[in-house]
Amino acid sequence: MRFSDRSEAGQQLAQKLSDYANHPDVVILALPRGGVPVGVEIATALPAPLDIIVVRKLGVPDREELAMGAIASGDVRVLNQEIIDWLQIPPAVIDRVTELETTELRRREQVYRGTTPPLEIAGKIVILVDDGIATGSTMRAAVEVVRSRHPQRVVIAVPTAPASTIKELRNAVDDFVSVISSDALKIFGRSPMRSPASCTNERGAGAGVASLFVKGHWEGWYESNQLSVKQ
């Protein structure tokens, strides 16, 4: 099964979200860029307020797909203390990665949001929307950020995702809604929105990187990336 474009994907996904139609507490948060046209269709169909959520994953240096935390609008930062303790990542490294990602987050917010303030989501049913999921690391980061703002419920809605990733993410949210569930698929017309990828849990993904962080590794990384980090 394929979608002709993101708008069609959003329309089909909106049908799957009919249980949330006409609910006064529902808010749609779309992840730019691909999640926005999908979110527009959902917000129109339910109907519900639509906003964007700009999330930047804090990737472990030299293995950025492994998230040690995430940042989002409003100076929100959540850290994965298990990963940090496991790899013994120093605070200076965490702060430097945060600084780098904050610069990019602010740039993207200016492009996507301008001066429009974000919607209040405390006590709301938040539906997180993207145009697809591969490993799920960015969506997991988005969930953590949203949870930190005390919503009533968190729902993930995507047109398609690998079955293995769906299984993992279901444990992190109150509901997971998708149109297609498969570990090998091509979903939009001529090319996939997300390249097929096998999903590994974060500790599994980090197993191969642990050997890189021998004594002195963090010091070397920090020295080459320190710039304006405050001690």
* Fold observed for domain 6-225: Rossmann fold (3.40.50)
Q: What is the pLDDT of residues 61-90, one digit of tens each?
A: 988 878 898 888 778 888 888 889 999 999
3-class secondary-structure state, position 108:
helix
What is the reported pLDDT for 181? 82
Q: In this structure, are residues 146 and 126 in contact, taking their beta carbons and an 8 Å threshold?
A: yes
Residue 158 pairs in a beta bridge with 178
| pTM, full prediction | 0.72
Residues in the chain, overall count: 231
Q: Look at 64-78, 81-95, 97-111, 186-200 and tell me which has the smallest mean pLDDT.
A: 186-200
Residue carrying the six token digits 């996939």:
192
Per the structure block, which two tokens stand in for 161? 């995702």
Phi (first) and psi of residue 216, to 5 degrees: 95, -15
Q: Indicate the domain borders of the chain.
A: 6-225
